[in-house]
């Protein structure tokens, strides 16, 4: 191994005492490859198995906690006990390769396509529609307080199923515009009850989900079960989440007894856009300052080469997630470990779907989304 990358391979102990074998994690990525009934396919099992031997932890694609929370076609489900055997297949495939298996749990809210939810009725914090490629979606039905509590309970039940299915932990998906973020956002949350209004009240739903998941782990799991939380730092819309809003939320989350926080970024070194004085500082810098060592932060975003990873790790961030790069080159981690970082592939090879073990639907989407992956 090249000496300058050795720090990426030092173990890291999470707050609950679980040791990760290195600082490299597979980021959660939607793969559109599950069966229509919400069970997993052989293709996605092979996909996970191919990418789980080098990283210390694999965070799965998001799985919905209620029938009306499905946000994508080809997504595996966690809203009923009948899915536990299916969920277990993914956990087993990951753990057999030596990585910790983390189930990402979520609800799509207004981002859910109407054709995927019962009666086509999408829900959200308020009646503010999602915008897809400049086009407004269907107006969502605002959740009643009782319905909001039912979804909070559903996060807990999905966590129980994750424990029964053999996962090492769960990641609460509060990022990328889905329901938890919809409650936190001043743009999409116009409520006047306990779940809306001030910044603190808009935190109520996200924090209630955290508390529910923690209580379920205390009841059904043990201290080794990992709980993480993912968030997006800013929104572009008027009254949307600012960097200042996120720092306030992170300040609270850092004291909630979680095992990690995970920022969702397309570019690791991206700078803050609004809400803070110094817009030349990166979002990662702001987050690390606010967290101040209270909980590990996972950074992510366009880390393709070993040098990209070294530069990111030099910021002081304890953990790095690789997303698109592990699709492009599933052997990325092993190549760096073996001193073969010069052999890392950083652009998708359009002729190597089979060798890369990428399911058909995901492969087609990659090839038809210019700019998403290098080389396309």
- Tens digits of per-residue pLDDT, 54-63? 999 999 999 9
The number of C-alpha atoms within 13 Å of 111 and in the hemisphere containing its C-beta is 19
Q: Which residues pair with 20 in a beta bridge?
A: 12
Cβ 86 vs Cβ 38: under 8 Å? yes
pTM to 2 decimal places:
0.97
Full set of structural domains in the chain with CATH: 3-367 (3.20.20.70)
Other CB atoms closer than 10 Å to residue 4's CB: what's the count?
12
Give the residue from 157, 129, 156 showing the smallest Cα distance to 142. Answer: 129
Q: How far apart, in whole angstroms, are the C-alpha atoms of residue 65 and residue 60?
A: 14
pLDDT for residue 368: 94
Cβ 180 vs Cβ 152: under 8 Å? no
- Determine the 3-state secondary structure of 89 from DSSP: helix
pLDDT, tens only, 12-38? 999 999 999 999 999 999 999 999 999
Element (H, E) at 44: helix 42-50
Q: How far apart, in whole angstroms, are the C-alpha atoms of residue 200 and residue 206?
A: 11
265-287 mean pLDDT:
97
Cβ 276 vs Cβ 245: under 8 Å? no
Q: Which of 131-135, 222-226, 234-238, 276-280 has the lowest mean pLDDT?
A: 131-135
Average pLDDT, the chain: 97
- Determine the 3-state secondary structure of 291 from DSSP: helix
CA 340 and chain centroid, separation: 29
134: confidence class by pLDDT, cuts 50, 70, 90: confident
Long-range interactions of 280-287: CB distance < 8 A, separation 24+: 282/315, 283/233, 283/234, 283/243, 284/315, 284/317, 285/315, 286/243, 286/247, 287/233, 287/246, 287/247, 287/250, 287/261, 287/263
26-52 mean pLDDT:
97
Burial of 133 (0-12, 13-18, 19+ CB in 10 A): exposed
- Determine the 3-state secondary structure of 350 from DSSP: coil
CA 147 and chain centroid, separation: 24
């Amino acid at each position: 191994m090249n000496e300058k990358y050795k720090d990426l391979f030092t173990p890291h102990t999470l707050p609950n005492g679980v040791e990760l074998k290195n600082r490299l994690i597979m980021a959660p990525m939607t793969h559109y490859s599950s069966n229509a009934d919400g069970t997993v396919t052989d293709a996605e099992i092979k996909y996970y198995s191919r990418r789980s031997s080098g990283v210390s932890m694999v965070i799965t694609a998001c799985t919905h906690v209620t029938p009306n929370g499905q946000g994508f076609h080809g997504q595996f489900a966690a809203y009923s006990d009948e899915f536990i055997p299916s969920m277990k297949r993914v956990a087993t495939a990951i753990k057999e390769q030596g990585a910790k298996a983390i189930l990402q749990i979520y609800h799509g809210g207004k981002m859910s396509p109407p054709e995927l939810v019962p009666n086509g009725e999408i829900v959200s914090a308020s009646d503010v529609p999602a915008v897809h490629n400049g086009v407004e979606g269907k107006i969502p039905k605002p959740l009643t307080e009782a319905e909001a509590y039912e979804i909070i309970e559903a996060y807990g039940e999905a966590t129980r199923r994750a424990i029964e299915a053999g996962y090492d932990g769960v990641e609460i998906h509060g990022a990328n515009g889905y329901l938890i973020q919809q409650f936190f956002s001043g743009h999409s949350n116009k409520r006047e009850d306990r779940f809306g209004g001030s910044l603190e009240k808009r935190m109520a739903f996200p924090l209630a989900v955290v508390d529910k998941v923690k209580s379920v782990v205390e009841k059904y799991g043990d201290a080794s079960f990992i709980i993480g939380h993912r968030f997006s730092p800013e929104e572009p819309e008027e009254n949307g989440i600012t960097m200042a809003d996120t720092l306030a939320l992170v300040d609270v989350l850092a004291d909630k007894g979680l095992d990690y926080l995970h920022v969702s970024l397309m570019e690791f070194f991206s700078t803050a856009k609004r809400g803070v004085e110094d817009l030349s500082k990166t979002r990662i810098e702001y987050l690390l300052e606010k967290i101040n060592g209270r909980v590990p932060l996972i950074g992510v975003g366009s880390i393709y080469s070993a040098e990209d990873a070294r530069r990111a790790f030099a910021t002081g961030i304890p953990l790095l997630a690789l997303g698109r790069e592990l699709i492009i080159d599933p052997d990325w981690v092993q190549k760096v470990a073996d001193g073969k970082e010069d052999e890392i592939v950083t652009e998708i090879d359009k002729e190597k779907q089979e060798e890369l073990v990428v399911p058909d639907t995901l492969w087609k989407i990659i090839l038809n989304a210019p700019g998403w992956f290098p080389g396309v």
